[in-house]
Amino acid sequence: MVRIYLIAEIAQLPAARAALSSLPRGAAAIQLRDKSVSARTLLAAAGPLISFARPLGIPVLINDRVDVALAAGADGVHLPAHGLSLRDARALLGPQALIGISCHSAEDMGRANGADFCVFGPVFETPGKQAQGLAALTRAARATALPVLALGGVDATNATTCIDAGARGAACIRAVLTARDPAAAAVALWKSVQA
């Protein structure tokens, strides 16, 4: 199971490539999420991303769009809280596909059964979203046997506390993709979740 899960919009893909190239094989996956673009644009971006990621052993998941994931030959899909049902996504993608799911409470974890992992957050404060905190992360991680990735304000300075609280890894956007040096930020985050 990956320990670093990058969530990138199309404009952030150059930073994502730099970050992913700096990490050990099997350490990371990437979710392509860009709600502002058409399916055609998302598909056009997914192809080159998959061509880059596959030789490095980096799974590529498409946010919410099973059709784009299938057309692009992506490794799977990430389902937001109000997206397609997990059962329907699994029926369309098959048993080999990776499926991640967003969860926001311990009670929410029940709907993750059948997924490969879940992303819980926001753990810490993020723009426009209130932190749920480490105690909520612990409750969520205890409510499922699935690997839980902590999201929301997670960076190299606090990722270890998320691991201590029960997370298996960190999901992030800003901590790596908006850093001055995305490769260095990715390595620092990797070291933090490994500590």
Distance CA(120)–CA(102), nearest Å, equals 6
| Domain of 19, in residue numbers | 4-194
User: If you count them, how many residues does the chain have?
Assistant: 195
| φ, ψ dihedrals at 158, nearest 5° | -130, 0
Tally the domains of the chain: 1
Here the CATH number for the domain that contains residue 124 is 3.20.20.70
CB-based contacts of 21-24 (< 8 A; 24+ apart in sequence): 21/56, 21/183, 22/183, 22/184, 22/186, 22/187, 23/186, 23/187, 23/190, 24/190
- Residue 195: the pLDDT is 78
Summarize pLDDT for 68-109 with one digit per residue, the tens: 999 999 999 999 988 899 999 999 999 999 999 999 998 888
Q: What is the pLDDT of residues 107-127, one digit of tens each?
A: 888 888 899 999 999 999 888
174 band by pLDDT with thresholds 50, 70 and 90: very high
- Which residue carries 């056009």 as its tokens? 44
